[in-house]
């Protein structure tokens, strides 16, 4: 496996030159575009990796499936579905994805910003601090790393360049679709996006989802299998922004990407994969990362279709 990963990594590295590092959040623009790392954790517990796989970066949108899981654990399926829908928007992650007439909870997708902001408000806890701490604890368990924390510089940068997200949150509030203090909910969202991980943590999150809610090796259950099916289905239909359809054809596994250039892929019953390469394509997905996943999928027959 390691030889295969090394070979694919060298084949895909040049693609990074065709992409652009996200710069709408100034702190993200500091990433080195030529970085490329991949980490795989198999259902047998075997770890394999290549490249810059211990380079830290922030979760960004990959926190959305974790927020969804936390929301489902705290509110149940019906509780979540009364606030956040299931259908792909086919629009960019920060789009105001409905016209004035049709803004209702059924149009809010959990893998775009509006849905993520609503899900921040669904986390249970007596105080804002407790609610964020619970999300962080779930992230640590999923990542298999008790040290996972927030990158404060990225958090400050997100918060001071978050006008679009503020607009989305206040719009939701004005429609009665967002409970609680808007600034507090937004702060939770900015912090959540700024949780720092590496390719190993992403592969571990993917491995738990691929193992339907059980930790690799110990097989300890950390959430019900029905919730893994829920999250994986949402990842399959809308995890890769408005490039999810093409990704389903080219790669064919549930996955989520983030604007830091990270991708977390779930190969049900087989493996979790974490990739980092910050140069993005026009839709916000890591350009070398998708190339690498496409090749890996072909070599190992990973597509579920």
Residue 197 is a binding residue for ligand GLU (CB under 6 A): no
> Helix or strand or coil: residue 73?
helix
- Cα(269)–Cα(260) distance, rounded to whole angstroms? 27
Indicate if 256 belongs to the active site.
no
Q: Which is nearer to ligand GLU, 61 or 70 (CB)?
A: 61
**Of residues 165, 201, 277, 291, which one binds ligand GLU by CB under 6 A?**
165
| Helix H or strand E segment including 178 | none
Residue 286 is a binding residue for ligand GLU (CB under 6 A): no
Residue 278 is a binding residue for ligand GLU (CB under 6 A): no
Stated length of the chain:
305
Q: Which is nearer to ligand GLU, 48 or 244 (CB)?
A: 244
Identify residues 63-102 at the interface with ligand GLU (CB under 6 A).
93-94
- Cα(223)–Cα(244) distance, rounded to whole angstroms? 26
Identify residues 256-275 at the interface with ligand GLU (CB under 6 A).
258-259
> Helix or strand or coil: residue 148?
coil
Residue 60 is a binding residue for ligand GLU (CB under 6 A): yes
According to DSSP, residue 13 is labeled G
**Of residues 35, 70, 89, 113, which one binds ligand GLU by CB under 6 A?**
113
Residue 260: both structure tokens together: 């830091």
Catalytic entry in 189, 260, 267, 276: 189
Q: Which is nearer to ligand GLU, 74 or 94 (CB)?
A: 94
Count, in order, helices (H) and strands (E) of the chain: 11, 9
- Cα(73)–Cα(292) distance, rounded to whole angstroms? 33
Q: How far is the CB of 94 from ligand GLU (least distance, A)?
A: 6
CB atoms within 10 A of CB 148: 20
Q: Which is nearer to ligand GLU, 118 or 271 (CB)?
A: 118
Indicate if 38 belongs to the active site.
no
Name the H helices within the chain. Answer: 2-12, 63-81, 113-121, 128-143, 152-160, 163-174, 182-193, 199-210, 225-238, 244-250, 287-300
**Of residues 27, 151, 158, 187, which one binds ligand GLU by CB under 6 A?**
158
Cβ burial, residue 284 (10 Å; 0-12/13-18/19+): buried
Q: Which is nearer to ligand GLU, 60 or 211 (CB)?
A: 60
Indicate if 118 belongs to the active site.
no
Q: How far is the CB of 196 from ligand GLU (least distance, A)?
A: 13
Q: Which is nearer to ligand GLU, 113 or 244 (CB)?
A: 113
Indicate if 276 belongs to the active site.
no
- Cα(41)–Cα(206) distance, rounded to whole angstroms? 8
Identify residues 216-255 at the interface with ligand GLU (CB under 6 A).
none
Indicate if 259 belongs to the active site.
yes
State the number of binding residues for ligand GLU (CB under 6 A). Answer: 11
| Burial annotation 100-109 (CB, 10 A radius, 16+ → b, else e) | eeebebebbb
Residues that bind ligand GLU (CB under 6 A): 60-61, 93-94, 113, 158, 165, 193, 258-259, 284
Catalytic residues: 61, 64, 189, 241, 259
């Amino acid at each position: 496996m390691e030889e295969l990963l090394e070979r694919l990594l060298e084949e895909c590295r040049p693609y990074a030159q065709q992409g652009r590092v996200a710069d709408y959040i100034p702190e993200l623009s500091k990433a080195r575009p030529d970085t490329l790392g991949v980490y795989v954790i198999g259902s047998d517990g075997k770890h394999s990796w290549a490249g810059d796989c211990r380079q830290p970066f922030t979760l960004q949108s990959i926190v959305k499936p974790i927020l969804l899981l936390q929301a489902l654990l705290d509110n149940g399926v019906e509780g979540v579905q009364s606030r956040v829908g299931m259908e792909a928007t086919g629009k960019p992650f920060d789009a105001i994805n409905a016209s004035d007439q049709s803004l209702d909870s059924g149009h809010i997708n959990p893998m775009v910003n509006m849905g993520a902001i609503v899900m921040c408000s669904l986390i249970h806890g007596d105080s804002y601090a407790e609610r964020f701490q619970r999300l962080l604890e779930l992230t640590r368990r999923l990542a298999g790393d008790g040290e996972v924390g927030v990158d404060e510089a990225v958090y400050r940068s997100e918060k001071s360049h978050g006008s679009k997200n503020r607009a989305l949150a206040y719009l939701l509030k004005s429609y009665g679709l967002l409970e609680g203090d808007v600034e507090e909910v937004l702060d939770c969202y900015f912090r959540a996006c700024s949780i720092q991980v590496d390719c190993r943590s992403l592969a571990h999150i993917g491995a738990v989802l691929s193992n339907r809610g059980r930790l690799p090796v110990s097989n300890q259950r950390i959430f019900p299998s029905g919730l893994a099916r829920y999250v994986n289905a949402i990842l399959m239909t809308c995890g890769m922004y408005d490039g999810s359809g093409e990704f389903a054809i080219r790669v064919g596994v549930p996955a989520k990407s983030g604007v830091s250039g990270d991708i977390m892929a779930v190969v049900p019953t087989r493996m979790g994969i974490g990739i980092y390469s910050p140069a993005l394509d026009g839709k916000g997905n890591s350009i070398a990362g998708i190339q690498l996943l496409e090749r890996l999928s072909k070599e190992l027959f990973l597509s579920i279709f």
